[in-house]
Each structure stands twice: as C-alpha cells, then as structure tokens.
C-alpha cells in the first residue's frame, strides 16, 4: 500500500510547490550520497538544502495566507433580488 501511496504524495507535493520540492529532492540525494559514502560535508550540504526548502515552502504558505486575507470578498449575485426567479423553458416539438 505504501508503494502505491508514496508516488501520489510526491506528485501532488511537486505540483503544488515545484521549486521547494526540487530543492528537497536535490538535498535528499546529496544527503543519501553523503551518508552512504561517509562524506560528511555532502551530508551536511544535503541536510541544509532540505531545511532551506522547508523554509521556502513555509514562506510561500505565509504569503498565500496574507494574500487571501487581503482579497476583497465579492458577491456575484445579490442576496435578495427584486426580480422573480426564472421559469423553466419547455420546448414543444411540432409533429
């Protein structure tokens, strides 16, 4: 089940935030290579890249929340219309 769920999660995350997701992928690859190869500088670089991506994603979500609060609420239809509601139109076919 996890094998089918993981690609869906990764695809949805990548579609929502492609820049920070790309940085996470690069950082994870660097961290894995550095950890397996015992290259501590590469491991630390990868972990710093992952933290940078998390900060970027947090910053983007904070900016989205501010923009949503600033947008005025528009009402497309009036609450109480003075006109009566539209009636259904029926088509009569001539034979």
Percent of the chain with pLDDT over 90: 7
Cβ pair 47, 27 in contact under 8 A: yes
Length of the chain: 95
- Considering the chain, what is the average pLDDT of its residues? 76
Q: What span, in angstroms and rounded, lies between the C-alpha atoms of 6 and 17?
A: 17
Per-residue pLDDT at 22: 82
Identify the weakest region by mean pLDDT among 3-7, 26-30, 58-62. 3-7
Using alpha carbons, select from 26, 53, 54, 56 the residue that is nearest to residue 42: 26
Residue 13 CA to residue 22 CA, distance in Å, equals 10
Share of the chain above pLDDT 70, in %: 63
pLDDT at 8: 78
Query: Distance between CA 62 and CA 71 in Å, rounded?
Result: 15
Q: Is the pLDDT of residue 66 over 80?
A: no
Residue 62's pLDDT is: 83
Q: Say which residue, 13 or 54, is predicted with more confidence.
A: 54
């Amino acid at each position: 089940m996890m094998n089918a769920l993981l690609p869906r999660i990764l695809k949805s995350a990548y579609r929502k935030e492609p820049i920070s997701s790309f940085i996470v992928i690069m950082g994870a690859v660097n961290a894995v290579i550095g950890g397996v190869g015992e290259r501590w500088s590469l491991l630390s670089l990868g972990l710093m890249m992952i933290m940078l991506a998390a900060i970027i994603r947090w910053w983007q979500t904070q900016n989205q929340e501010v923009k949503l609060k600033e947008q005025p609420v528009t009402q497309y239809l009036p609450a109480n219309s003075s006109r009566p509601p539209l009636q259904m139109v029926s088509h009569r076919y001539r034979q």
